[in-house]
């Protein structure tokens, strides 16, 4: 079953639509919060804590906020209403409304003060810590000035059990709204982790595709060459030997001419599969040219490389190529060279190419050591 993958690549139109939905979500979140505040202040009116002007004022502020937000979302200024979180201008407006409420109705000072925590819990999601500290300091100064102005009119409603109940309900709902911000952060973290995993998987797939020959599944020329150079560098610090083998098909052009390029491609893929099944764990195979393959054999002497190559050559020769196409016969020739101290990858490859030429000249379907 094919694994289900998620795509996070959006067209410009999809991005615009997504941001618009996010702005609407933020807008309705603010409206819902004001609706809760209107309800709570209405309850304080019913229990006799504040006059009717308090819920009326808060309802007016809610309508102003809802209308202003709706107009901004559908205006050229919508870029200033960021997704999900409160921006500085939204923070300023909402804090200002709370301060007006604090000055006008000091008997509900606790209500307006704890509301500031809800506002900042959302605003902090989109603020640098420096901006957060400066904003919080300015708000504390503003609150201090307002509290100084209202003086001893500040009180905590507790004259009746009904007032106390509404106070606790206000605190509970404020905590719930503030906690939702933490829940939202957790959801964002989960999404980011999922995207990071998908990104890591994509990077791995890209790395594999960039280093692999698409047809044969072996390493491509660039990757096998880089591997050879890396192996040579390690030999400067270790005493181990390194051998390479350059393998070439015999009369491969005749295979393509007689049976077609599709059969030729199948031969290359089959050869890659045969070799990979035979190689040791540290051996590496790469397609070096059209029908040439380079085999890197770490910690392998020339004699050991010759034995390995002979086993591979015989497996190719004895493979049932007739199952692919009647009359098809495939053999390979190989050159073998062992690294000599101070030799570059280019020099080593030149010697192995000469060994391959020797194998071809002496009858093909054989291996030769440089």
Give CA 176 to chain center in angstroms: 32
Q: What is the DSSP string of 38-67?
A: HHHHHHHHHTTSS-THHHHHHHHHHHHHHH
| Cβ-contact 286, 212 below 8 angstroms | no
Q: In what order do the strands lie in the sheet with 367-369?
A: 284-287, 292-298, 242-249, 332-338, 367-369
Alpha-carbon distances of 166 from 115, 173, 177, 186, rounded to whole Å: 15, 10, 16, 30
Query: What is the greatest pairwise CA distance in the chain?
Result: 111
End-to-end, the C-alpha distance of the chain in Å comes to: 49
- Active-site residue 22, yes or no? no
Strands 284-287 and 367-369: unpaired
> CA quadruple 119, 124, 125, 126: dihedral positive or negative?
positive
Give which of 29, 30, 49 is closest to 40, Cα–Cα: 49
Catalytic residue among 194, 237, 277, 291, which?
291
**E strand intervals along the chain:** 242-249, 284-287, 292-298, 332-338, 367-369
Q: What is the DSSP string of 130-149?
A: HHHHHHHHHHHHHHHHHHHH
The Cα–Cα gap between 26 and 363 comes to 79
The Cα–Cα gap between 258 and 123 comes to 73
Positions marked active-site: 291
């Amino acid at each position: 079953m094919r694994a289900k993958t998620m795509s996070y690549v959006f067209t410009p139109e999809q991005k615009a639509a997504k941001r618009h939905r996010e702005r609407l979500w933020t807008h309705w979140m603010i409206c819902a919060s004001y609706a809760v505040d209107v309800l709570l202040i209405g309850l304080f009116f019913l229990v006799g804590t504040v006059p009717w002007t308090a819920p009326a004022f808060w309802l007016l502020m809610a309508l102003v906020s809802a209308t202003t937000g709706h107009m901004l979302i559908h205006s050229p200024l919508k870029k200033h209403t960021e997704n999900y979180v409160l921006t500085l201008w939204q923070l300023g407006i909402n804090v200002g409304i709370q301060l007006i409420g604090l000055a006008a109705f000091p008997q509900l000072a606790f209500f307006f003060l704890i509301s500031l925590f809800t506002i900042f819990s959302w605003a902090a999601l989109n603020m640098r810590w420096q901006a957060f500290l400066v904003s919080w300091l300015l708000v504390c100064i503003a609150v201090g000035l307002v509290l100084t102005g209202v003086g001893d009119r500040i009180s905590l409603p507790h004259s009746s059990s009904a007032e106390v109940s509404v106070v606790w309900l206000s605190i509970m709902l404020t905590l719930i709204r503030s906690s939702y911000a933490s829940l939202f952060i957790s959801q964002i973290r989960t999404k980011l982790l999922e995207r990071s995993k998908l990104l890591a998987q994509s990077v791995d797939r890209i790395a594999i595709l960039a280093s692999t020959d698409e047809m044969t599944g072996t390493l491509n020329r660039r990757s096998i060459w880089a591997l050879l150079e890396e192996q040579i560098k390690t030999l400067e610090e270790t005493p181990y030997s390194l051998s390479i083998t350059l393998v070439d098909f015999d009369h491969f052009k005749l295979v393509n001419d007689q049976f077609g390029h599709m059969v030729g491609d199948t031969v290359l893929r089959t050869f890659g599969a045969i070799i990979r099944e035979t190689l040791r764990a540290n051996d590496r195979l790469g397609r070096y040219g059209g029908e040439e393959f380079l085999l890197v054999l770490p910690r392998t002497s020339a004699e050991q490389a010759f034995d390995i190559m002979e086993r591979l050559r015989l497996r190719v020769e004895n493979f049932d190529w007739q199952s692919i196409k009647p009359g098809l016969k495939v053999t390979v020739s190989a050159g073998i060279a062992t690294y000599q101290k101070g030799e570059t990858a280019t020099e080593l490859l030149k010697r192995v190419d000469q060994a391959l030429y020797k194998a071809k000249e002496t009858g093909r379907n054989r291996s030769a050591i440089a």
